[in-house]
Amino acid sequence: MRRIDNLLTEYGISHRHPTNKIIHWICVPAIFFSIVGLIYSIPAGPMLEFDPFIGDFANWATLVLLLVFFYYYSLSPPLALGMLLFSASCLALANLLSLILPFPFWIFCLLVFLLAWVLQFYGHKIEGKKPSFFKDLQFLLIGPAWLMHFIYKRLGLAY
């Protein structure tokens, strides 16, 4: 069995209750986005201001998401493509919200992050099982991939 299949199966063991699944469909993308947004909010500084062509995309979030992409690629190139599209959407939304919110964007991201985690833990209370990342931190990245693999299955795409 492929490593990605093992990870998705192990992650799925503590995510079987229908209510917990619904909560995860909402909160996992929200947490991913909020983390992207929090990292996006870190000032780029002179280290990332090296290319005027890249402009606003030269930020810490882009750099971190590039590393995350390589992790997903090592597990499944097709799944990595879906995660790349989702990550790019998160970056674009972060850029938009940072421009239009009437208060600092990082505050919004922090609130989303905290609320989503409260709901996640509530979902696991309903499930009766601890979150997978208590066993292994890499499951923090497997959660979004677990959801993406369901999208791939629904579309009839191999992951």
- pLDDT score, position 59: 87
Which DSSP category does 53 fall into?
A: T
Burial of 1 (0-12, 13-18, 19+ CB in 10 A): exposed
What is the Cα Rg of the chain in Å? 16
For residue 141, name the pLDDT band (cuts at 50, 70, 90): very high
Q: What is the pLDDT of residues 20-37, one digit of tens each?
A: 999 999 999 999 999 999
Minimal CA–CA distance to 74: which of 156, 151, 141? 141
Identity of the residue numbered 17: H
Whether 1 shows a pLDDT value over 90: the answer reads no
Tokens at residue 55, please? 């402009």
Residues above pLDDT 90, as percent of the chain: 83
33 exposure class (CB count in 10 Å sphere: 0-12, 13-18, 19+) = buried
| Nearest in space to 158 (alpha carbons), one of 76, 37, 90, 59 | 76
CA nearest 149: which of 140, 136, 158?
158
> Which of 62-71, 93-102, 129-138 is least confident?
129-138
Q: What average pLDDT does the segment 138-157 reach? A: 96
- Rounded mean pLDDT, 118-123: 97
pLDDT category at 56 given cuts 50, 70, 90 is low
